[in-house]
Structure 1
Amino acid sequence: MAMDMDAEFYSRVADRFGGYFSDARSTDVFVDGRPEDLFDEWVIALGGARARLLDVGCADGRSLLRTSLVYEAVKGIDLSSSMLESAVRNRDAVSASNVTFELCDAAETGFPDDHLDVVTSRRGPLFLDEFKRVLRPGGTLVYMGIGEQDARELKEEFERGQNFGSWNDGPLAGEVARDMSKSGFLVTKKREFRFEEFYHSAGDLDTFLHAVPILDDYDSMADKSAFDRYVAAAAEAAGVRLSRHWFIVQAQKPMTAGTSHS
């Protein structure tokens, strides 16, 4: 199985930081609520004694483990072997015997048709046809994505980045919801979140940018001029501000086939 560019990036992050996190210090202000908390709430509400869940792009598994207790069987898949090694360590630390991890391409999960109750993806890949195939009728997809306004000021300063220029188009949350509908899902919930991260120092922001794919191939030395300009413009009493924009969409596979929407 060939490792794609995203997998290579996340493997570097896991090798450097020991998982999908860094020691960058920040103070976060969630004006619309904390998206991770609501995502967990929605996923936990879908659980049950016999429920089966697949988490796509599970990284180091920490997020998945927060919701795994209410499911009978949970599998996390990722294309980064380094992230999965971290995931196994995190699972073993909490003795979550119902959770397994596998190196697997989300485009071809290997599950039988109509097998799963829930598929989740937190800022991971979105293969709608495959997810619909493996979900049972009435099963649910819960997806967290990055909004078009996420870190816009930073990307404009660097003149590149994740979904660069998407703020000139329509809302990405709406685009994802439409794609789900076209694939035959019934969209049941959608929420957008704006929040601020205040990094305690320029060094903390620099560390953070190495741990996330916000900027393409971020390099502390090569990008120093753009980084310094951004820090000068975004520095506030609370720290160096980074404006974030995420969304969550929940959708259900219909109980009967043949309900695709145009």
Structure 2
Amino acid sequence: MTNPAFYSKVAGQFGGYPDWPPRETHYPEGDPEQYFDSVLTALGAGAGAGGGGTRLLDVGCADGRNLLAVADRFSRVHGIDLSPEMLAAARRNQREAGLDHVLFEVADASATGLPDSSVEVVSSRRGPLFPDEFHRVLTEHGTVVHLGIGEQDVRALKEVFGRGQHFGRWNTVPLAREGQAQLEQAGFRVEHRSFRFDEYFHSAHDLRGFLQKVPIFEDFDPVADRARFDAYVERAGSQRGIHLARHWFVLVARKQPELAS
């Protein structure tokens, strides 16, 4: 989580991540969320029923809903975030799920405070990437699973607004390649998969509500941004809905054994 103030604002308004407005989504290259979850759950299941002794650290866990959905595959789950408001929502969701082997707490992903070699898996779903810290807390053959937002994500929308998450990064080193290089430098072997997909919002009202809840524009203001918003709706509208072109990626990084000197 790059800006805890933004996510705290969302949690304060909606009690955590709200249900998303209705939209139609097409995944010609697969659903990145499903792929991320399949990799993560396979790592947990690899130690036996219930995850055996597999321990998971999730960084940028937000309201915990996604983490709790895979938590039963692991023996111990530790979710960290910088937003106390999001973590309060996560604990409410945990109580409803009845999972007592999950711990949520405020912590910085760049300096988790966890002991060396204390978890088998680190996950980051649209969260931060700190390869050196992840390498430190992982056991010898541990794995990082990272879901990231690519530099081409909703580029046409950002160009209309003249700002936004990763604005202007589309002509530089791709974010997936940059993350891969950082992980490799820290001592991981990395697999990379990119996903391009399309979302169609049923109405301008639905898209406006969506933009208030995600960090595409952390400063999105329905009043101040009305002219830009209307211009994009006019440009991107079709019979299928208002189009957003998405670009995400997943990195699976396996820690390499250190060579004896």
- TM-score interval, smaller chain: over 0.9
Which of the residues 228, 240, 252 maps onto 1:226?
Answer: 228
> Does residue 15 in structure 1 map to residue 12 in structure 2?
yes
What residue is the counterpart of 1:57 in the other structure?
A: 60
Which of the residues 184, 187, 193 maps onto 1:184?
Answer: 187
Q: Deviations over 1:230-257 (max 9, x none)?
A: 0000011111111110000011111225
Q: Residues 54 and 118 of structure 1 are in contact (CA less than 8 Å); yes or no, is this contact kept in structure 2?
A: yes
> Does residue 127 in structure 1 map to residue 124 in structure 2?
no
What residue is the counterpart of 2:161 in the other structure?
A: 158
Q: Residues 145 and 246 of structure 1 are in contact (CA less than 8 Å); yes or no, is this contact kept in structure 2?
A: yes
Q: Residues 118 and 139 of structure 2 are in contact (CA less than 8 Å); yes or no, is this contact kept in structure 1?
A: yes
- The residue type equivalent to 1:248 in the other structure is V
Q: Hey, what's the Cα distance between the residues in 1 that align with 2:197 and 2:39?
A: 20
Q: Residues 160 and 216 of structure 1 are in contact (CA less than 8 Å); yes or no, is this contact kept in structure 2?
A: no
1:140 match: secondary structure: strand
Gaps of 5+ in 1: none
What residue is the counterpart of 1:193 in the other structure?
A: 195
Q: Deviations over 1:110-137 (max 9, x none)?
A: 1111111000001111111111110011
Q: Deviations over 1:84-112 (max 9, x none)?
A: 11111111111111111001111111111
- The residue type equivalent to 2:229 in the other structure is F
Q: Deviations over 1:1-26 (max 9, x none)?
A: xxx97101001111112212344221
What residue is the counterpart of 2:214 in the other structure?
A: 212
- The residue type equivalent to 2:39 in the other structure is W
- The residue type equivalent to 1:173 in the other structure is A
Q: For 1:34-73, what aligned pairs fall within 5 Å after superposition?
A: 34-47=31-44, 48=47, 49-73=52-76
Residue range with higher mean Cα deviation, 11-20 or 149-158? 11-20
- The residue type equivalent to 1:66 in the other structure is A
Q: Deviations over 1:27-58 (max 9, x none)?
A: 11111111111101001111130010000000
Q: Residues 200 and 240 of structure 2 are in contact (CA less than 8 Å); yes or no, is this contact kept in structure 1?
A: yes
Q: Residues 22 and 208 of structure 1 are in contact (CA less than 8 Å); yes or no, is this contact kept in structure 2?
A: no
CA RMSD in angstroms comes to: 1.5
Q: Residues 22 and 207 of structure 1 are in contact (CA less than 8 Å); yes or no, is this contact kept in structure 2?
A: no
What residue is the counterpart of 2:178 in the other structure?
A: 175
Q: Deviations over 1:126-176 (max 9, x none)?
A: 111111110011100111101111000000000100000111113221111
Q: Hey, what's the Cα distance between the residues in 2 that align with 1:121 and 1:204?
A: 27
Q: Hey, what's the Cα distance between the residues in 2 that align with 1:87 and 1:216?
A: 21
- The residue type equivalent to 2:41 in the other structure is I
Gaps of 5+ in 2: none
What residue is the counterpart of 1:104 in the other structure?
A: 107
Q: Hey, what's the Cα distance between the residues in 2 that align with 1:258 and 1:177?
A: 25
> Does residue 114 in structure 1 map to residue 105 in structure 2?
no
> Does residue 144 in structure 1 map to residue 135 in structure 2?
no
Number of residues of Structure 1 aligned to a counterpart in Structure 2:
255
Overall identity of the aligned pairs, in %: 49
- The residue type equivalent to 1:102 in the other structure is E
Q: How has the CA–CA distance of structure 1 residues 215 and 257 changed in structure 2, closer, same or farther, with 3 Å as cutoff?
A: farther
Q: How has the CA–CA distance of structure 1 residues 169 and 5 changed in structure 2, closer, same or farther, with 3 Å as cutoff?
A: closer
- The residue type equivalent to 1:223 in the other structure is D
Q: How has the CA–CA distance of structure 1 residues 81 and 257 changed in structure 2, closer, same or farther, with 3 Å as cutoff?
A: farther
TM-score normalised per structure 1:
0.94
1:214 match: secondary structure: helix
